[in-house]
């Protein structure tokens, strides 16, 4: 198999090799990543809109701020804005495949804090962390794999070539920021 110059700009050459071995066309991988990005990203963006604007029967900034204060975060309304923006913008970035490692890191950071708040309630519903953990792992996976070819990142010269190191650095950033936020929690 010959590798063209354009396939060296992203991870598609490795996907093509995998596709040849497994019998699936490379566009199947891109379509699967798009489906995952849309489900995760729009879910997160919807959660952010609930917190920021009260859309979709959400609590809005006042209700979310009160909740953050009740679970030990200082400046509850400020934390509600930070959380809501992280969910909304991170979710939209994931859905669009725009700055995917950073968008995924925003979701990871928010979900780490959500798991910390719910910790101690077991793994499964009604008080478990399985939902938050699944969202965090999906976001981390997208940060590591890249968004696929059906993404805005594909058209941005600086981020067109996805590198695992970018995903790892972004996830590390998300974890560190989440830890800092948790340190200010009472």
Predicted confidence at residue 47, as pLDDT, reads 97
Over residues 50-55, the mean pLDDT reads: 98
Q: What is the mean pLDDT of the chain?
A: 88
* Residue whose structure tokens are 């992280």: 86
* Residue 15 Cα distances to 22, 94, 144, angstroms: 10, 20, 14
User: What pLDDT, on a 0 to 100 scale, did the predictor assign at position 24?
Assistant: 65
pTM (2 d.p.): 0.85
Lowest mean pLDDT among 6-10, 36-40, 45-49, 179-183: 6-10
In this predicted structure, what is the pLDDT of residue 175?
A: 98
Q: Are 139 and 94 in contact (CB under 8 A)?
A: yes
Q: What is the pLDDT of residues 65-78, one digit of tens each?
A: 999 999 999 999 99
pLDDT at 163: 85
């Amino acid at each position: 198999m010959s590798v063209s110059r354009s396939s060296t700009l992203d991870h598609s050459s490795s996907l093509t090799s995998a596709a040849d071995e497994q019998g699936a066309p490379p566009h199947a991988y891109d379509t699967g990543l798009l489906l995952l990005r849309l489900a995760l990203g729009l879910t997160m963006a919807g959660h952010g809109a609930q917190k920021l604007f009260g859309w979709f029967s959400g609590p809005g900034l006042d209700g979310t701020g009160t909740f953050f204060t009740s679970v030990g975060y200082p400046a509850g309304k400020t934390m509600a804005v930070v959380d809501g923006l992280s969910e909304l913008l991170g979710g939209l970035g994931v859905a669009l495949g725009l700055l995917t490692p950073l968008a995924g890191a925003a979701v990871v950071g928010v979900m780490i804090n959500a798991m910390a708040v719910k910790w101690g309630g077991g793994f499964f519903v009604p008080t478990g962390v399985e939902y938050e953990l699944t969202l965090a792992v999906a976001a981390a996976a997208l940060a590591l794999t890249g968004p696929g070819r059906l993404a805005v990142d594909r058209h941005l010269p600086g981020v067109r070539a996805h590198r695992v190191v970018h995903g790892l650095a972004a996830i590390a950033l998300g974890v560190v920021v989440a830890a800092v936020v948790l340190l200010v929690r009472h």
